[in-house]
Amino acid sequence: MPESRRQFSLHRLEGLTDGIYAIAMTLLVLSLPLPQMGGATTESDIVNHLGDYSDLFTSYAITFLLLGNFWIIQLKIFKYIKASCVSHLWVNLGGLLFVCLIPFSSSLMGYNNHTFTANLFFHLNIFLVSVFFLLQCRVLLANPDTIADSFDKSAINRVIRINLVLPVISLFAMGLSFISPEWSIILYIAVPFLTTKIKRITPAATKENSDDI
């Protein structure tokens, strides 16, 4: 069997993926600064500190939810396949490369949310992660023997249609960064609503698995 067609167990890939997401989500909170004050800290000091870094807290919350959404997408893709292949492993690693970058891009945007460059960098990061999910699905379509027996190519195509939401929103966020950088991250709040709406109008992959995505 050619190396490109060789199949691999998902267990180690799942473990690596879960570990990277757990670390990335944990690193987000480390970017939140504690007050650096001498002497006794008053109530107003705390309130002022929280107000000064409100943009950073907003960035943290939305980015954490985005990472959680990415992790859920990956779990669902793993559910649709029974094994990995070399090309799927490399595409998965490519996606994880940009997942690891998210704590940095989120912190950069949180501290500099008034700048176009910081926001564009974050949105581009999110765009690249979401594109790698789509590439992952394309690789699976090119290797149908990796798809679980209870599903077929239509199941993967359904995943692709639903997961077009994130790259489209990130592109809109990039455009909004030119006009109002500090508001561009708010667009990601629409992700769960749009995903749910597309899921409802997209034909189910199989009768017994109509609620899997």
Query: DSSP readout, 119-144?
Result: HHHHHHHHHHHHHHHHHHHHHHHH-G
How much is the average pLDDT of 34-62?
A: 76
pLDDT band at residue 143 using 50, 70 and 90 as cut-offs? confident
Compute the chain's Rg from CA coordinates.
Answer: 20
Residue numbers of the domain that contains 126: 3-209
- Lookup: tokens for 74: 């990956």
Query: CA–CA separation, 112 vs 31, rounded Å?
Result: 13
Whether the CB-CB separation of 129 and 70 falls below 8 Å is answered with yes
Which residues, in sequence order, are bridge partners of residue 84? 8
80 Cβ contact partners less than 8 Å away, ≥ 6 residues apart:
140, 147, 148, 151, 155, 156, 159, 212
* The two structure tokens encoding residue 19: 């570990």
In this prediction, what percent of the chain has a pLDDT beyond 90? Answer: 38
By CB atoms closer than 10 A (0-12, 13-18, 19+), residue 109 is: buried
Confidence of residue 164 (pLDDT cuts 50, 70, 90): confident
Q: Tell me the average pLDDT of the chain.
A: 83
State how far the Cα of 98 lies from the Cα of 126, in Å rounded to an integer: 8
Residue 187: pLDDT over 60: yes
Secondary element (H or E) of residue 7: strand 7-8
Strand, helix or coil for residue 137: helix
| Number of domains into which the chain is organized | 1
At 39 the pLDDT is 58
Q: How far is CA 63 from CA 27, 87, 109, 160, 190, in A?
A: 11, 28, 11, 22, 13
**Per-residue model confidence (pLDDT) at position 149:** 79
Summarised one tens digit per residue, pLDDT across range 111-141 is: 888 899 999 999 999 999 999 999 998 888 8
Where do we find the tokens 């309130």? 47
Residue 15 has pLDDT above 70, yes or no: yes
What global pTM score does this model have?
Answer: 0.83
